[in-house]
Each structure stands twice: as C-alpha cells, then as structure tokens.
Amino acid sequence: MRLGIIGLPNSGKTTIFNALTGQNLPTGAATSGQFEVHTAVVNVPDPRVDKLSAMYNPRKTIYATVTYADIGGLDKGISEGGLKGQFRNELAQADGFLHVVRAFEDDTVPHPYITVDPQRDVETLDGEFLLADLVMVEKRLEKLQGELRIRGKAVDKTVPVELELMERFKVQLEAERPLRELDITDDENRMIRGYGFLTLKPVLVALNLGDEPKAAADLLHYDHPHTNVVGLQGKIEAELAQLAPDDAQLFMEEYGIAELSAAKVIRLSYQLLAIQSFFTVGEDEVRAWSVAIGATAPEAAGAIHSDLQKGFIRAEVMKYDDLIAAGSEAALKSAGKMRLEGKEYIVQDGDIVHIRHSM
C-alpha cells in the first residue's frame, strides 16, 4: 500500500510524515509549486504477527508495510492545463491520499491564505484534482472520438465502451464531484487503471489540530464515498514518535491520546482501501501479507508469488483465533480445524494460509 501525503503549504504535511514514520525531517515554510518528495516504508503494527512469531520462533519475522510519500509543491493553480511530469507520476502511483489540512493557529507559521479555514483548504486542493482529471478526460475523449471517426465500424470494440465511460466521467467532473462517487465496475476499473485518475482514489483527510484536541466534525464537513476524516495532533505526535514506547505511553496519557497516529492512520487506511491481512507461518518465516477484501485463495497466492497463483491446487487454511486457542498447529490439526480450500475460497482477515501448488 502506497499513500501519498498531500496538502497546501504550511499545513504540517512533513510534521505528520514524521509522526507516521518516526523520521525527523526538518519542517518549515514550504515554497509554493516546488516539487519535492520524501518517502518512507513503515511496518504495519499487528500483534498477531508477534504472537505467531513467538509460537513458531522463525528465522525471520516480516510485517506488512505501508509506503508514505510526502509530496510537496501542491497549491492553488497547479493543475491549470493539467498536472504534468513528476507531479502527475507521483500522485498517480498512490493507492490513496492522506490529505493533511491545517486546523491550528500559529503566528510563527503564517497560513498562505491568511486565515485558517479547513473547509476552504480541502475544497481548494480537491478543485485542483478535479481540474486535472477533467483535462485528462477531455484529451482522452478527443482521441477516442478521432479513432471512431477514422475507423468507423472497424474500430476496436473497446473504444465505444471507453467513450461512454469517459462521457460519464466528464459529466461528473463538470458537476465538481469526484470520480470516486461513481459506481464503476471491475471491468471498467481495469480499462482505466493506467490513467491514475486522482479523484478516483480514496482519501483520508487528516485535520492537523496542533496542540489542542478538537472534534473533527466541528471543523469540516466532508461527506463523500470512500473518504474519512481524522483529527491528529501533529506536532505532539511527531515528538512522541521520537520517544521509546514506554516514555511515549506516559505522554499519551498526559495529552489524552488513546492511539498513536501511526497505528490509527494505517487502520483507517486499510478500511478505506478495503485491505486485509493474512499470514504465512513456518520455521523459516512468519509473514503478514496484504490483500484486497474479497480476494480468492489463488489471488492471495499471487500476492506471495505469481507462480503460486498459476500452479494453485489447494490452500490449507487455519484461523488465527483457532490456532491461538489450540496452542499449536499440531493441536489444531488434532481438533480438525485445519481446512483444505479450493479456488473459490474467499480469504478472510487473519487467515493463516499454506498454498499447495504444482511447479
């Protein structure tokens, strides 16, 4: 999972990036329009991995990971004529966005638009992405219409289908509504996967609250499908990320922070992107894997290695809770709770899977 951290200048993006990754990048006033990206790969906290590792005592324990990309240089007017080059490529690669929105006052860090207004700031960057997608749709429509005009009945059968989809997209974007609000089929998603439409991606809006906890619902109305809003005390949490766990826990209690942003953002992102975890276990390795909710056993096998999906025969499946309750794999087998599943099996969160396959 790759999340792009976006936001207007002086919203505290890099502060949130530090809080999520434990890094200590310098923060300060950003230069509007200056492209800059910082990336970090973070383990997904999962106590189930720890327990499985204690049970199997493997040579390696590997957690699922999230890649955060802190993307600087976004501001009002950036999408005129369409986003190009590195901006477009970096944003298109993201599976979803963490949109950091300033909700704190600080005279030493002036807001680029003078006043602090989360609603205005969200709508500003949303408007840029709407415009960028509209420019792309209009260009694609022009090309498809040209193909239809030149080739007539000999045109590829996918052209009329995509043309109709792009016309739907154009209507949606001209109404200033994001593409993620539309019902798009799996076939349509496959057709447009390479375009990287920005308003199609899920968005977690992170209100950067500063030092004072506030209710996010009082600061921002953001009612869209495939979105969520969370309040984070960015500066405090960036400092907590630099502390040892025991020391961090003491300060969390003092500031009334029940869950660190690193864990909270990952949990909410998994929900938004409809991702779940399954595990593989053994003496060599205990490992967590990420897969889409609704994935079949062969698709889970493909997450491990494409050859396993091609040669899939059966999946041996244990439920995490059953294994922990039994105390060992041998006890679980004796209780008849290890199952053999075929190609139609839908993998569940927490499944422990061993793939039987042909070479």
| 183 and 62, same domain (yes or no) | yes
Return phi, psi of residue 222, to 5°: -145, 85
The single-letter code of the amino acid at 23 is: Q
Helices 158-174 & 118-151, crossing angle to 10 degrees? 150
If one counts the domains in the chain, the total is 2
Contact status, residue 131 vs residue 80, Cβ threshold 8 Å: yes
Is residue 278 in some structural domain?
A: no
Exposure on the CB side of residue 131, measured as CA atoms within 13 A: 16
Return the CATH number at 304.
3.10.20.30
Last residue of a domain, which of 215, 237, 271? 271
Domain shared by 25 and 133, yes or no: yes
CB 98 within 8 A of CB 4: yes
Q: Please name the helix (run of DSSP H) or strand (run of DSSP E) that holds residue 55, with its range, or none.
A: helix 47-56
Q: Do both 299 and 267 map to the same domain?
A: no
Same domain, 116 and 158: yes
Cross-strand partners of 98: 5, 204
Is residue 223 in some structural domain? yes
Q: Same structural domain for residues 169 and 315?
A: no
Judge contact between 207 and 230, C-beta under 8 A: yes
Q: How far apart are alpha carbons 154 and 150 in whole angstroms? A: 9
Structural domain span for residue 336: 294-357
283 in a structural domain: no
What percent of the chain lies above the pLDDT cut of 90? 65
State whether 262 and 299 are in the same domain.
no
156 pLDDT higher than 80: yes
3-class secondary-structure state, position 231: strand
pLDDT at position 325 is 96
Report, as an integer, the average pLDDT of 307-312: 95
Q: What is the pLDDT of residues 9-60, one digit of tens each?
A: 999 899 899 889 988 887 764 445 567 889 999 999 999 999 999 999 999 9
CATH number reported for the structural domain that contains residue 154 in this entry: 3.40.50.300
Domain co-membership, 329 together with 233: no
Closest CA to 7 of 97, 115, 96: 97
* Same domain membership, residue 248 and residue 185: yes
Residue type, 12: G
**pLDDT at residue 211 tops 80:** no
Determine the pLDDT at residue 148.
87
Q: In the prediction, which pLDDT does 326 show?
A: 95
Residue 256 has pLDDT above 90, yes or no: no
330 and 225 both lie in a single domain: no
pLDDT at 34: 67
